[in-house]
Amino acid sequence: MGRLRKVLEEEGYAENTVFVFTSDHGCHFMTLNWEYKRSAQNSSLRVPMLIHGPGFESARQI
């Protein structure tokens, strides 16, 4: 994300770009309760997401 932000700044797009990164929570197939992404375990519930750009100046964890 840092390298992408640097390029956006160098090219003059940083002030007009909102960068969003998210990911799947991965596969824990048959590791907890014989479930596949349907269990209420942390490995199924937590999904990473980063947002950076105008209007997203403060960091926080939800």
pLDDT tens-digit series, residues 9-48: 999 998 999 989 888 766 655 555 555 556 666 666 677 8
Query: What residue type is 36 in one-letter code?
Result: Y
Residue showing tokens 């048959």:
30
**How many angstroms separate the CA atoms of 6 and 8, rounded?**
5
Q: Is residue 57 part of a domain?
A: no
- Whether 59 maps to a domain, the answer reads no
Q: Which tokens go with 13? A: 């797009």
In a domain, 35, yes or no: yes
Residue percentage of the chain with pLDDT more than 70: 65
The alpha carbon torsion through 53, 54, 59, 60 (nearest 10 deg) reads -100
* The pair of three-digit structure tokens given for residue 45, joined into one six-digit string: 């519930």
- CA-based radius of gyration for the chain: 17
> Is 44 a domain residue?
yes
Segments forming the whole domain that contains residue 18: 2-52
Whether the model pTM is above 0.85 = no
